[in-house]
Amino acid sequence: MRAAPSHIDLYEGEPFFEEMKTYPEHFLPLIEYEQQSDEAILRERLSTWSLERLQQEGYCITDLSAYWLDPGSTNSGMGRFVASFFLGPGITLPAEHRFERGTQVLATHLDPLREVPQRGSVLSFTETQLRISFQEKFSLGNGQPWRLDVTSSALAYQRMRAAIQRLNYDPAQQFRDSIVVSHRHSPLSPSVSEPSDREIILHGSYLRDLLLRGFRSPISPTPITSFCPQPNMFTPDAHLTSWARRYARPNPVVIPGDPDLKTRGLNDTQIRAVAIMLGGMSGPIPKPPPSSEEDISVSDEGRYGLDHTVMPREGERRMALVLGPPGTGKTKTIIEAVRLLKQHFAIPYPVLLCTYTNVAVDNLVEGLVRQTSHVELPGRAKPAPPQLLRVGSPGKVRPSLERYTLEAQVAVHALAPKLEKLSERATELARKIKDLSTKIGETHAKMGSSNSVSTPMHDVHEQGVSLATVNVVGQGIGSGRTGGRAKGLQGRLEAMEADKLFLERQRAGCDKKHYAVWRDILTDVVSRADIVCTTCISSASSALDVVDFPLVFIDEASMSTEPASLIPLMKGSQHVAFIGDHKQLPPVITSPEAQAGGLGVSLFERLSEENFLPSIMLDIQYRMHPTISCFPSHEFYDRELRDGTVDETGKVVPGLVPPESRIYQELQTSLRASSAGLNTNLRHLGADGRPSVVFLDHVGAESAKDRSRVNWNEVHIVCSLVEDLMLRNPLLPGSQIGIIAPYAAQITLLTRLLTIDKNYAERFESVLGPQRAMDLANVEIKTVDGFEGREKEVIIFSTVRNNSNGHIGFLADRRRLNVGLTRAKRGLFVVGSISTLKIGKGRIYAAQAAGVEGIEAAEDLKVPSEDGKDATAVAASPATAPVKKRKRASKTSKGAEAWHNYMAFLQREQLVVRLNGDRLQRLLRGNVEEVIGLEEMYLRMQELENARLLMGV
């Protein structure tokens, strides 16, 4: 049996006392700000939005009927109670609802603010129903319709606070205490000890010295000798340590028996990254001290600036950072590192593999299944695939990976039948207890109607009233048949109370046995797992307390807040590798106060800035056509990002040939008219000379809609461009076209015109044909955040902003620009106003970097606020707070400067098509007119043919 350690507090003079005083003081208020912001968004949305708006925005569905699914159903939620919610016959769910798999919901009849809601999680949905899992059953069949509302959960915040508090613990001391506790003296012989079944669950991390280094007090820092850094956990394994140290360097010395990762498809930098992740160092990376006190900012002084001591080499090797720019194979690198540990070096302890989202976790699981199933080791027997365990809430795991989930593995365990029998027995006992309680209540009612006075059995026991007293009272009421009836009822009541007490004791015993069997199964399943995959938040699941996790890898680490990244580390971690890219999307923060306080700075970014850990950047991208990657490499990665999408002769790989489009004809026409050829700096074009990047410049003005922004002209341009791509590239599926827009109103309008609008539907069908037109429903339209970590063959970036003042709002985010420009593989079409973007103004406000709606400057918008962020949260964000006047930074944001640079790049490379006059009309109507022209020509030919037939020619 494993038990949590006793709570401890650090006292002045102890190691890390000052750090653990500063760290919670810094982060706990920020977590509180963020939680309050989330709750305020929900309350404001429910209290101020009309029911019609909630439904239109997809946050609410009403008039639902519901029933409980059979426990044996394939969508039963594996241990939870699942209900099916559906509308009336022939009625489908709204096309733009936000009830995706895993979404937390509130179930009520009328209003979640006026009723006690039932909380659940969406397991799955179709066009006609939603299947939602709940912790407990409740009555569904009362005839009243149900209402579902999207909500949020406080669990993540609770787990972040707990992780911060667990930094107080010293797992090394807990381990020593556990050895002492695990043996007790035998009463027969004090010198003989026997093992105890009690084991301490490790809390905290062996890596406190590295994690808290940036919070050391500049006044009275903990002495470096007090850190007592542990040796690298891989040090006892000479084979692994030798390989990691050799391959962490360029041109490593190869020894027979070394794993050949090049045959696994890894390049030299990826191999070095794997070695560094496993504790091989490419050398210390000290941060040079400032040249003078003037170089130290006030904000840096207490957190980053004054301590420039380099940690001992052995200590540094316990943690590593891998920077992975877009398309460089971050996921592949981390999967190969895990595979190498488990299948080649056969380490005996489990690997805890975490990431930011459930989608990213599922991608890792799929990659591990694919990469570890077909492994051959020269001179050795084929290793068995590692045991994978996917931990996550039901509904948040991809159906194809369900067999790897904890619930699925518990269900097929050898003890599962015994567990099922105990569950059935407990259910049967609960039913009997409920029936008996009903009968007891009915008996009380009958006794009341007979003017009898009785004391229920539970009152008898609680009050110490004797049965004799009860009987006397019963005899003194009424006479004759009435008294006899009361006496009979009293006797039945006593018997039923006794039976109920007996059943409750049986139920308690059954529950105890059920829990014991469940823990045995859980311990066996988790203990046998070689690799446990979950999100950072879900890693705090109590199911994972049956083992400790000394080895942790965190993917997409730059997207998690620092407290969230701490959660998987507080399970006794001894060695950690972070993989991420703080030059792409940061953590999403909705509270301006939390953002201003630094909650939006990930642990990955902070450690990168502190610059004392081994780190490496993956420097070869395999996603993009070189024309697409050219600017991001220069602007965001200091020209260090190289292209793996060209062969030795410089020719682009065949799969990245730019798509056909009318736009390229317009570009060539424009260049011929200006007597200019396409700039030879970008001659990765192929025989037809088509570039992969084009900017479509137009003069259509933006407009305000609610608290968002739309650009109607731009919407029509984007729809026409999608139509053109689908027409001229018959093998390009709609699912491989993505549209990025920074504003919810633009996303809503694009979605409506591409999928619902009748006029456009008729046009698409006439131009593309019925089948091809239906594929338009698969075109994805999201914010930049919605495309993080993903790629498409073609991306259309609708910038929306077009005004004479150069206000670009949420576009002025450097990291979001990086993500937006690096999602496309072979075709990137940016639509907007070059005159606006090349003078774009973007100021740095407290939370604007997070893209949170409702906080852009009123002077920028001429309206109270705007939206941004993720399509699943945008519409909620205006509720954050009324727009307050915030202190403006002294200079234009780096994001706006990046847009200036991008516009200059596009103009220099002659990649701009100006849409005006006939050129605009050809894009908007050209394909339609061609179809009409063909139809008219066909009709004219038919008329001529009919005339010839009439004339007998």
Segments in 182-309 forming alpha helices (H): 208-211, 238-247, 268-277, 298-300
In terms of DSSP bridges, do strands 60-68 and 81-86 run parallel, antiparallel, or are they unpaired?
Answer: antiparallel
pLDDT at 921: 85
In terms of DSSP bridges, do strands 104-108 and 118-125 run parallel, antiparallel, or are they unpaired?
Answer: antiparallel
Same domain as 773, residue 719: yes
Dihedral angle at the C-alpha atoms of 897, 900, 904, 906, nearest 10 degrees? Answer: 110
Same domain as 543, residue 516: no
d(CA 546, CA 524): 9
3-state secondary structure of 604: helix
Contact 922, 666 (CB under 8 A): yes
Of 103, 130, 159, the one marking the end of a domain is 159
CA dihedral (708, 709, 710, 714) positive or negative = negative
In terms of DSSP bridges, do strands 104-108 and 146-150 run parallel, antiparallel, or are they unpaired?
Answer: antiparallel
Same domain as 428, residue 297: no
Q: What is the DSSP letter of 857?
A: -
Long-range own/partner contacts, residues 730-736 (CB < 8 A, 24 or more apart): 730/772, 732/659, 732/793, 732/794, 733/775, 733/778, 734/775, 734/776, 734/777, 734/778, 734/779, 735/775, 735/778, 735/779, 735/780, 736/792, 736/793, 736/794
pLDDT at 942: 64
Rounded to 5, what percent of the chain is helix, strand, coil?
A: 45, 15, 40
Q: Kindly state the greatest CA–CA separation across the chain.
A: 124
Beta strands in 89-154 (DSSP E): 104-108, 118-125, 129-134, 146-150
Of 564, 584, 618, the one marking the end of a domain is 618
Query: CA distances (Å), 593 to each of 253, 597, 735, 855, 877, in order?
Result: 52, 6, 39, 12, 15
The 10s digit of each residue's pLDDT in 490-514 is: 888 888 889 889 988 998 898 899 8
Residue 541 burial (CB count, 10 A): 16
3-state secondary structure of 353: strand
Nearest to 871 by CA among 103, 64, 85: 103
Same domain as 485, residue 579: no
Same domain as 549, residue 518: no
Reported as half-sphere exposure (CB side, CA atoms, 13 A), residue 449 has a value of 8
Contact 870, 852 (CB under 8 A): no
The stretches in the chain having pLDDT less than 70 are 71-79, 178-198, 218-231, 282-316, 373-383, 394-395, 449-485, 671-689, 843-892, 930-953
Which domain covers residue 547, as residue numbers? 173-179+197-387+529-618
Same domain as 920, residue 805: yes
Position 117 in a domain:
yes
Same domain as 295, residue 202: yes
Same domain as 742, residue 788: yes
Contact 671, 914 (CB under 8 A): no
pLDDT at 444: 81
Nearest to 668 by CA among 657, 676, 660: 676
Nearest to 236 by CA among 508, 575, 540: 575
Beta-ladder partners of 149: 60, 106
d(CA 268, CA 218): 40
Q: What is the pTM of this model?
A: 0.81
| Phi/psi of residue 139, nearest 5 degrees | -70, 125
Nearest to 66 by CA among 137, 150, 149, 130: 130
pLDDT at 870: 36
Of 569, 587, 618, the one marking the end of a domain is 618
Structure tokens given for 560: 């998690």
Same domain as 258, residue 134: no
Query: CA distances (Å), 751 to each of 604, 754, 782, 829, in order?
Result: 36, 5, 10, 18
Same domain as 896, residue 766: yes
Residues in the chain, how many? 953
Helical (H) or strand (E) element with 708: strand 708-710
Those residues whose C-beta lies under 8 Å from the C-beta of residue 117, and which sit 6 or more positions away, are 106, 107, 108, 149, 151
Structure tokens given for 141: 């069949």
Q: How many domains does the chain have?
A: 4
d(CA 82, CA 394): 10
Position 951 in a domain:
no
Nearest to 387 by CA among 409, 356, 407, 402: 409
Those residues whose C-beta lies under 8 Å from the C-beta of residue 913, and which sit 6 or more positions away, are 663, 666, 667, 670, 694, 695, 696, 697, 919
At position 829, the amino acid (one-letter code) is F
pLDDT at 935: 55
Position 571 in a domain:
yes
Position 24 in a domain:
no
Same domain as 557, residue 425: no
pLDDT at 375: 57
d(CA 258, CA 572): 30
Position 354 in a domain:
yes
Position 154 in a domain:
yes
Q: Is 382 exposed, middle or buried (0-12, 13-18, 19+ CB in 10 A)?
A: exposed
Structure tokens given for 926: 């050209």
Using N-to-C axis directions, what is the helix angle for 626-636 and 814-821, rounded to 10°?
Answer: 160
Beta-ladder partners of 185: 193
Q: DSSP states of 497-566 as a string?
A: HHHHHHHHHHHHHHHHHHHHHHHHHHHHHHHH-SEEEEETTGGG-GGGGGS--SEEEESSGGGS-HHHHH
d(CA 372, CA 386): 7
d(CA 457, CA 902): 81
Position 579 in a domain:
yes
d(CA 53, CA 49): 6
The 10s digit of each residue's pLDDT in 845-872 is: 434 444 444 434 333 333 323 333 333 3
At position 376, the amino acid (one-letter code) is E
Contact 112, 49 (CB under 8 A): no
Nearest to 261 by CA among 329, 346, 340, 325: 340
Position 221 in a domain:
yes
Same domain as 430, residue 326: no
Those residues whose C-beta lies under 8 Å from the C-beta of residue 304, and which sit 6 or more positions away, are 214, 609, 610
pLDDT at 294: 37
At position 423, the amino acid (one-letter code) is S
